[in-house]
């Protein structure tokens, strides 16, 4: 039984297994941020049918509600550290 635990922990601490954990975590993180990016693009997409109305509203600075910082935050994705 002792040999089993020794083999088990040596595999857990091996470089290949640690690299696998790192690569798997990176793949999950990348998929997560791509899903957020797609959701944001889907939510804020612009239809061609409403291009005249949206350009008319956006041209009036008093009627817009988005600040400059809000639009910049849509394109900044910080790294995940779990």
Predicted local confidence at residue 10, as pLDDT:
72
CA distance 59 to 24: 46
29 in a structural domain: yes
CA distance 37 to 40: 5
11 in a structural domain: no
For residue 68 the two structure tokens come to 């400059």
For residue 28 the two structure tokens come to 């999950």
Average pLDDT, the chain: 65
35 in a structural domain: yes
Predicted local confidence at residue 79, as pLDDT:
55
Closest among 48, 42, 52, 28 to 74, alpha carbons compared: 42
70 in a structural domain: no
pLDDT in tens, 5-41: 677 767 667 777 777 777 777 777 777 878 888 888 8
Which tops the pLDDT comparison, 37 or 51?
A: 37
- What pTM value is reported for the model? 0.28
Per the structure, the complete domain to which residue 42 belongs is given by 21-57+75-82
33 in a structural domain: yes
Cα Rg of the chain, angstroms: 24
50 in a structural domain: yes
Q: How many domains does the chain have?
A: 1
25 in a structural domain: yes
Closest among 33, 45, 43 to 76, alpha carbons compared: 33
């Amino acid at each position: 039984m002792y040999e089993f635990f020794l083999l088990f922990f040596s595999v857990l601490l091996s470089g290949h297994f640690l690299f696998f954990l790192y690569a798997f975590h990176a793949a999950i993180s990348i998929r997560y941020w791509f899903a957020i990016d797609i959701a944001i693009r889907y939510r804020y997409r612009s239809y061609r049918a409403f291009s005249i109305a949206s350009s008319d509203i956006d041209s009036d600075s008093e009627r817009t509600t988005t600040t400059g910082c809000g639009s910049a935050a849509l394109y900044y994705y910080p790294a995940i550290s779990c």
